[in-house]
Amino acid sequence: MVRKRRSIRKYRPDPVPQEHLEYVLEAARLAPSWGNRQCWRFIVVKDPSKKRAISQRDWVAEAPAIIVGCADPNLSGSRFGQQYYMLDMGIAMEHIMLAAAEKGLGTCWIGGQFDEETVKKVLGVPQEIRVVAMTPIGYPAEEPTPRGRKELREIVSYDKW
């Protein structure tokens, strides 16, 4: 699945079968987290007007559903000034994306292209909770070629930097 997953930015309107949606959400539930604190909450948005209101890109709103990943920073841990809720959410979202790829579904990390305050207002997210990421989910209407990656030798070393 690691090889199959791509960021999909064009979706067919067909709904995601509920059992596939639950399979994907279950994958998030099983993700590891700081101290197993599971600081996350996932909101599945299918309502067309809400999808539009929380998306800054048409192709995101056109997917049959959007999964919004929220985290409670007070529930996760922090160490040396690093807050771990972002990492917890990153792992859980990637579980979602790999499980979706397994079911032939497309996803795309949306990390920056949304306004957190707007999302909170539209979905009724409490003020102390952070909206970390979202992903559209649906059947792909495109087959992007793999995007380039650095070679292993550029990113790996043994026994020293």
Ligand X SMILES: Cc1cc2nc3c(=O)[nH]c(=O)nc-3n(C[C@H](O)[C@H](O)[C@H](O)COP(=O)(O)O)c2cc1C
**Is there binding between residue 119 and ligand X (CB under 6 A)?**
no
Rg of the chain over all Cα atoms, to the nearest angstrom? 16
How far, in Å, CA of 61 to CA of 65, rounded?
8
CA 134 and chain centroid, separation: 5
Q: How far is the CB of 90 from ligand X (least distance, A)?
A: 7
Cβ-based nearer residue to ligand X, 79 or 147 = 147
Cβ-based nearer residue to ligand X, 4 or 17 = 4
For helices 85-102 and 18-29, angle between their N-to-C axes, nearest 10 degrees: 140
**Is there binding between residue 7 and ligand X (CB under 6 A)?**
yes
Cβ-based nearer residue to ligand X, 149 or 160 = 149
Binding footprint of ligand X, residue count (CB under 6 A): 9
115-117-123 Cα angle (round to 5)? 100
Place of tokens 């929220």: 70
How far, in Å, CA of 114 to CA of 85, rounded?
18
**Is there binding between residue 3 and ligand X (CB under 6 A)?**
no
Which listed range, 11-19, 26-34, 107-115, 118-126, lies at the site for ligand X (CB under 6 A)?
107-115
Q: How far is the CB of 154 from ligand X (least distance, A)?
A: 16
Site for ligand X in 19-48 (CB under 6 A): none
